Amino acid sequence: MTDTPIVVGREWLCLLFFLPSTQGHARVQAWRRLQRVGAVLLKNAAYALPASPESREDLEWIKQEIVNSGGQAMVLAMRALDAATEEEIVATFRAARSRDFEALTEEGVKLIRLARQRPAGSANRQLVQKLRRLRERFEERVAIDFVDAPGREEVAALLEQLDQITGRRRTMARQTTTAANPADYRDKTWVTRPQPGVDRMSSAWLIRRFVDSKARFVFGAPTATPEAIPFDTFEAEFGHHGTHCTFETFCERFAITDPAVRHIGRIVHDLDLKETKYNESETTTIGRLVEGLRRSQHDDGALLHSGIDMFEALYQSLAAAKQTSSAGTPRRRARKATGRQSRKQS
């Protein structure tokens, strides 16, 4: 692995905050939130992330939680003025993620020892569950590894070895997830973070179309509306799980197999996780439309509904195209068969 090149002048986002000594719980909660999004502490003064719309959203969300808890906070953009400072910032990120990967490596080695102690041919559900959780934690760390920290390949190799030892790869295709019943989620209110992006827009559209056409949406901390169902929030049932974005989690839980929906899922996956796994032709355009809506709409409710309308239009277009493609195949076959029959008669 080669180290991330040092680029002087790149933009970073920093969160500075103060919480009274009486707000110990809020301080711990803020620290946990920052750990989950991959922020690192610089000089015991500010938590930093590489600048991006997602980082801005994450830090603004944490800032609001701090303010709501009686603290003070602000989000600032900054740039290093020299290569040494830039290297120090990058090194802080690298050290943090390297420690994460070292801890995962130690756990992976322990699991390999445990797996090899099993009687030949025996099944061990606890071992497989530990392996699944280890992989999820690894993927969570990879998602916030902004600097290609050392140790990632070692963990990946251990996971591959554990898959082979446990035979998990052979059984993964047969594993199923208990489907949620849409009837249990009718006439509900759903809560998510403010300033919805591609994953929340598309998930809200999915809820309206396939779960409850009258679903209501509110924005803020789930604790503020305990009767609402959280989605795309920290530790939500309907959120990121493993390599799945929230939209994909909804598809899996509600067993939605519509080809047009799956197509949308591939677009949302790449945009939300910043990947090029699927490279659907519409991905860039949808990304630009989402960004445009977020810039032009300042009311969260109006923004979400504009996103819902956009994904409904995309769905209608994709569904019609797939229906035409599917219907066209038999016709082409019929024309070929007719042509062959005509040639035989001539």
Angle at 259 between CA 253 and CA 264, to 5 degrees: 75
Which class for 154: exposed (0-12), middle (13-18), buried (19 or more C-beta within 10 A)? Answer: middle
* pTM (predicted TM-score): 0.51
What is the side-by-side order of every strand in the sheet holding 216-219?
216-219, 189-192, 229-230
- The two beta strands, 46-50 and 40-42, are antiparallel
Question: 11-79 is classed in which CATH architecture?
Answer: 2-Layer Sandwich (3.30)
- Give yes or no for a contact between 210 and 243, defined as CB atoms under 8 angstroms apart: no
Task: Give the model's pLDDT for residue 94.
Answer: 95
- What percentage of the chain carries pLDDT values higher than 90? 55
- Strand intervals (E) in 80-124: none
Residue with tokens 């929230």: 246
User: What's the one-letter identity of residue 81?
Assistant: L
pLDDT in tens, 218-263: 998 887 888 999 999 866 789 887 678 999 999 999 999 999 999 9
pLDDT in tens, 60-108: 989 988 999 899 999 999 999 899 999 999 999 999 999 999 999 999 9
Model confidence at 11: pLDDT above 50: yes
Collapse the DSSP code of 216 into the 3-class scheme (helix H, G, I; strand E, B; otherwise coil) and give the result: strand
- The two beta strands, 72-79 and 11-18, are antiparallel
- 196, two tokens: 């919805």
Computed over every residue of the chain, the mean pLDDT equals: 85
Backbone angles phi, psi at 236, to 5 degrees: -80, 150
Task: Give the model's pLDDT for residue 71.
Answer: 94
Residues 6+ apart with CB under 8 A from 56: 13, 75
pLDDT in tens, 113-156: 888 887 654 546 677 778 878 888 898 888 899 988 999 999 99
